């Protein structure tokens, strides 16, 4: 009988989430093999994460990246289906909402393999984000929907998927707690703000990217901007420069990023993960997309959606600098990895 759990990862945030579940599966003596699609390939965005987070070496790196979303997803689908057919795993384990996740779900579904989806359920209500389409499709294909919060569970129930849902909490909280003591201090004098920008919605629209740079210039503190290659490329293409108060850094490793977030006044970001991590560290964030996948954070008064509207930025910059009142954490207790490993183990043990 097949026992292998086949994990598919490819992009930076997935390495963080998978590290938590991998170690919990190993603790249960379960056999996992990791496939890296190659979507993120720079050492700073991939290899460094495997090293710092002690993730087992992938059994294969497919080396598929870049090109259109269709070309990338299609190439991954073909290559992943080949690997899955050869390995005949008992279950395919997927994370988040990237093209690697979608390709993994399609490949597994075509072969009739069971799918577990970690971080199922967030909805932005706007298909302009490629991540939204990926999530919806993957959630509908998956057999186990491992959701971080009650709101995510509600979203899935509304789509008729309630029977497959298990609320487990957020793997990023486990990862952060485990690694916070190892966070690399930023080595910066005085107060600063940390910013990240990489969503297609912002990088592909020059007027949005220009507004974000104008917003950063309004910051009352120096801004540290670890720059995603997609954004660096878009800035160059549109002839945009960063403001004088902003220091550009290369993409940061996990422990360096934790150090920056633990040391900052607040975060400004279009990332899905950074606002959660800032919240776990007691920091507010400004969300610079048109909506947040995490209304839980808005309800906790921990993030504010300011988009690219400079009037909202002005108010938001004052709000974000005020201390965050402690609230119950809607993202669980930091034992999500163990919980997911237990659910997957029970699912496999009950399989005919
Ligand atoms: C992807 C995910 C996004 C996730 C993000 C984390 C999708 C649709 N999007 O977006 O949900 O939040 O990863 O970072 O899957 N590049 C490099 N080096 C790398 C990787 C990428 O230079 O290691 C460049 C390439 O030119 C590439 C571009 O960045 O074409 C964009 O990368 P891509 O993987 O398409 O999407 P992300 O913006 O990283």
Nearest CA to ligand 1 atom 19: 40
- For residue 102, give the ligand 1 atom closest to its CA: 15
Q: How far apart are CA 29 and CA 264, in angstroms?
A: 39
Pocket of ligand 1 contains residue 71 by CB under 6 Å: no
**What was the pLDDT predicted at 206?**
97
pLDDT of amino acid 19:
98
Query: Using only C-alpha atoms, what is the Rg of the chain?
Result: 20
Cα angle: 137, vertex 139, 142; to 5 degrees: 110
Ligand 1 contact, 289 CB (< 6 A): no
Contact 23, 54 (CB under 8 A): yes
**Does residue 66 have its Cβ closer than 6 Å to ligand 1?**
yes
Residue 101 corresponds to which tokens in the numbers above? 């996740």
Give the C-alpha separation, 96 to 105, whole Å: 11
CA of 112 to the centre of ligand 1 (A): 29
pLDDT attached to residue 289: 96
Ligand 1 site, residue 199, Cβ cutoff 6 A: no
Q: What is the DSSP string of 173-231?
A: HHHHHHHGGGPPP----S--EEEE---HHHHT-HHHHHHHHHHHHT-SS-EEEEPPHHH
- What is the distance between the alpha carbons of residues 213 and 322, in angstroms, rounded to a whole number? 23
Alpha-carbon distance 40 to 64, whole Å? 9
User: Atom 20 of ligand 1 has which residue's CA nearest to it?
Assistant: 40
Both structure tokens of 261: 């977030």
* Measured CA angle at 292 (ends 287, 296), to 5 deg: 105
pTM above 0.85, yes or no: yes
The enclosing H or E element of 274 equals helix 274-280
* β-pair partners for 144: 116
Q: Which one, of 142, 136, 78, lies nearest residue 105 by Cα?
A: 142
Which residues have CB under 8 Å from 327's CB, separation 6+? 300, 301, 302
269 lines ligand 1 (CB under 6 A): no
The answer to whether the beta carbons of residues 262 and 177 sit under 8 Å apart is no
> What distance in angstroms lies between residue 11's CA and the mean position of ligand 1's atoms?
7
Is 307 close to ligand 1, i.e. is its CB under 6 Å away? no
- Name every residue whose Cβ is closer than 8 Å to that of residue 50 and which is 6 or more positions away in sequence: 15, 57, 58
| Residue pair 140/132 in contact by the 8 Å Cβ criterion | no
Q: Whose CA is nearest to atom 12 of ligand 1?
A: 271
Ligand 1 binding pocket includes 63 (Cβ within 6 Å): no
Chunked mean pLDDT (size 10), the chain, 352 residues: 95 98 98 98 97 97 97 98 98 98 98 98 96 98 98 98 98 98 94 97 96 98 97 97 98 97 98 98 97 97 98 98 95 98 98 86
Is the C-beta atom of 12 inside 6 A of ligand 1?
yes
Give the model's pLDDT for residue 21.
98
**How far is 305 from 293, CA to CA, in rounded Å?**
10
- In this prediction, residue 143 carries a pLDDT of 98
The answer to whether residues 9 and 323 touch, using CB atoms and an 8 Å cutoff, is no
Nearest ligand 1 atom to alpha carbon 273? 12
pLDDT digits (tens, 9 = 90+) for 306-337: 999 999 999 999 999 999 999 999 999 999 99
Rounded-to-integer distance, Cα 205 and Cα 201, Å = 7
Give the model's pLDDT for residue 294.
Answer: 98
Q: What atom of ligand 1 comes closest to residue 46's alpha carbon?
A: 23
């Amino acid at each position: 009988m097949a026992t292998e759990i086949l994990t598919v990862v490819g992009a930076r945030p997935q390495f963080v989430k998978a590290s938590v579940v991998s170690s919990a599966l190993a603790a249960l003596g379960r056999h996992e093999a990791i496939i890296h699609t190659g979507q993120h390939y720079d050492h700073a965005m991939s290899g460094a994460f495997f090293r710092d987070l002690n993730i087992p070496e992938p059994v294969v790196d497919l080396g598929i990246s870049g090109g259109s979303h269709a070309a990338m997803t299609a190439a991954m689908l073909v290559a992943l289906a080949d690997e899955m057919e050869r390995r005949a795993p008992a279950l395919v384990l997927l994370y988040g909402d990237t093209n690697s996740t979608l390709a993994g779900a399609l490949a597994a579904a075509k072969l009739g393999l069971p799918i577990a989806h970690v971080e199922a359920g967030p909805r932005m209500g706007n298909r302009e984000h490629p991540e939204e389409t990926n999530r919806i499709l993957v959630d509908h294909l998956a057999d186990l929907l491992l959701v971080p919060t009650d709101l995510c569970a509600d979203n899935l129930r509304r789509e008729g998927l309630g029977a497959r849902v298990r609320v487990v909490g957020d793997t990023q909280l486990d990862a952060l707690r485990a690694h916070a003591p190892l966070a690399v201090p930023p080595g910066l004098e005085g107060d600063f703000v940390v910013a990240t920008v990489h969503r297609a919605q912002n990088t592909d629209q020059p007027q949005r990217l220009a507004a974000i740079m104008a917003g950063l210039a309004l910051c009352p503190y120096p801004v540290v901007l670890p720059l995603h290659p997609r954004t660096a490329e878009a800035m160059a293409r549109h002839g945009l420069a960063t403001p004088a108060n902003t220091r550009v850094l290369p993409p940061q490793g996990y422990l360096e990023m934790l150090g920056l977030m633990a040391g900052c006044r607040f975060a400004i970001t279009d990332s899905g993960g950074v606002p959660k991590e800032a919240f776990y560290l007691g920091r507010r964030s400004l969300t610079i997309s048109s909506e947040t996948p995490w209304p839980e954070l808005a309800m906790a008064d921990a993030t504010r959606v300011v988009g690219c509207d400079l009037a909202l930025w002005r108010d938001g910059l004052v709000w974000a600098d005020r201390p965050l009142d402690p609230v119950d954490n809607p993202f669980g207790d930091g034992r999500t990895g163990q919980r997911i490993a237990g659910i997957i183990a029970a699912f496999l043990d009950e399989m005919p």
